[in-house]
Amino acid sequence: MGYAYDEPKISARLYQIIHRHASDKVMQWIATRLNAWREQHAMQQFNLAFSAAPRFVGRDEVTLTPEETAALQPFTVNGYTLDRLFRVWWLLQLPIGQQEKYVSSIENLFHAAEMNEQVALYGALPLLAFPEAWKLRTAEGIRSNIGVVLEAIMLRNPYPAAQLDEPAWNQLVLKAFFTEKPVHLITGLDQRANPTLARILCDYAHERRAAGRTVHPMLWRLVGPFINENNFADIERTWHSEYHADREAAALACSMSAYPPAKALLAQRPEMGTDITTGKLTWDTVAARLNGAQMAH
């Protein structure tokens, strides 16, 4: 299988970003580690450099130019610290000639990883060779209770949508709601929507309502394409909510549906339908409204 990306090009671009942020002393340390690795290929040296990154590279936050951001798409390193960026680039220096050796080398890093190392490893999943090899590792990561590790897997990461089977993908999305992550930042959210997930999320919404708790409006984004006689009452209830974000979410969900009662419901508020058609009302604007409400608190 090899890489899903153009590995030499990505590696070169990441190196350029590191070079732009790092001091001469840091670049000298990187050059020394790289030369030693290329000459000796001792895994102990490779692992030590991976672990030592924060101490020698530092943890300053990386900022990208628009051109750099575009060149890496759909991979993103926005918000990365320099040590995390180095670790991702460093992983690309592993030779992929022998799949078994390559996979076991990275698995060993996972086994020994502390929290920030896990964040780097899971965030790097889209760039690792042999994409099929990391499915179980990703499914295991979804069971983590460490917030930053979950975010590395879930948010702005193209790997899960591209590789996970439906049950694991559904578990990821449910866990994102359960742990109150910004669901709109999950890559491939709409493309991987499915009827089973819509049912699971409706059941989850019923549980929360029964406990007197709120339901995240973004949940209806994943129900919208699958509105039917079984869940339409949930959409209607959301449509009549006292909260603006809920009503907007219900309208957007109806706009995604071919179910006649959903179309009729949306027609009751033609101004919302117009806002959806013109792009004034989107799931991103709902997410921004929710984020603004949280910031206000």
214 pLDDT more than 70: yes
Angle, alpha carbons 225-222-209 (nearest 5°): 120
- Greatest alpha-carbon span in the chain: 71
Domain boundaries, the chain: 1-151, 193-297
- How much is the pLDDT for 8? 86
Q: Which residues are CB-neighbours of 78 under 8 A, at least 6 positions away?
A: 64, 69, 156
Sign of CA dihedral 143, 149, 151, 152: negative
Which of 241-256 are b and which e, b meaning 16 or more Cβ less than 10 Å from the residue's Cβ? beeebbbbbbbbbbbb
What residues pair up with 186 in beta bridges, in sequence order? 155
Of the candidates 189, 227, 220, 191, the one whose C-alpha atom is nearest the C-alpha of residue 204 is 220
Q: Report the 10 Å Cβ neighbour count for 230.
A: 11
- Span 44-95, pLDDT tens digits: 999 999 999 999 999 999 999 999 999 998 899 988 999 999 999 999 999 9
251 pLDDT more than 60: yes
Confidence band, pLDDT 50/70/90 cuts, at residue 294 = low
- Span 266-291, pLDDT tens digits: 999 999 999 999 999 999 999 999 88
Confidence band, pLDDT 50/70/90 cuts, at residue 7 = confident
Angle, alpha carbons 38-106-158 (nearest 5°): 110
What's the chain's average pLDDT?
A: 95
Residues 8-19 have a mean pLDDT of 94
2 pLDDT more than 60: no
Residue type at 41 in one-letter notation: H
- How much is the pLDDT for 5? 73
Phi and psi angles of residue 15, each rounded to the nearest 5 degrees, phi first: -65, -40
1 pLDDT more than 70: no
